[in-house]
Amino acid sequence: MAKKATGNKKGQEAFKILQQWREEGVPDLITSYEAWNLTGGLVGKCNNYQTPMRLVLVALEYSAKGGSVKDSLKIKEGA
């Protein structure tokens, strides 16, 4: 019987991204605009400075849309 991998790859990637952001000091609650900047425009809205978003949900949505730790690092370097 073959051994099955546990966990979802997107979920694992989201966890890695979340850990990276936390190490960088990103707070657990950010605005939609901050999420937009953090993810290179994949999550959040450019002109929305009022809507709060939980960082964990931003990481999940970002990874679901194809974002990765490598992509996040590239966005940070470009900023």
State the total domains in the chain.
1
**DSSP 3-state of 30:** strand
Q: Which amino acid is at 72?
A: S
Q: Is residue 36 part of a domain?
A: yes
Q: Is residue 5 part of a domain?
A: no
- Say how far apart CA 77 and CA 3 lie, in whole Å: 39
Q: Is residue 2 part of a domain?
A: no
Give the distance, in angstroms, between the CA of residue 19 and the centroid of all CA atoms in the same chain: 10
pTM attached to this predicted model: 0.81
**DSSP 3-state of 13:** helix
Domain that holds residue 39: 11-18+26-71
Token pair belonging to 27: 């707070």
Q: Is residue 50 part of a domain?
A: yes
pLDDT in tens, 5-32: 555 777 888 999 999 999 999 999 999 9
- Say how far apart CA 55 and CA 36 lie, in whole Å: 12
Mean pLDDT of 33-60: 93
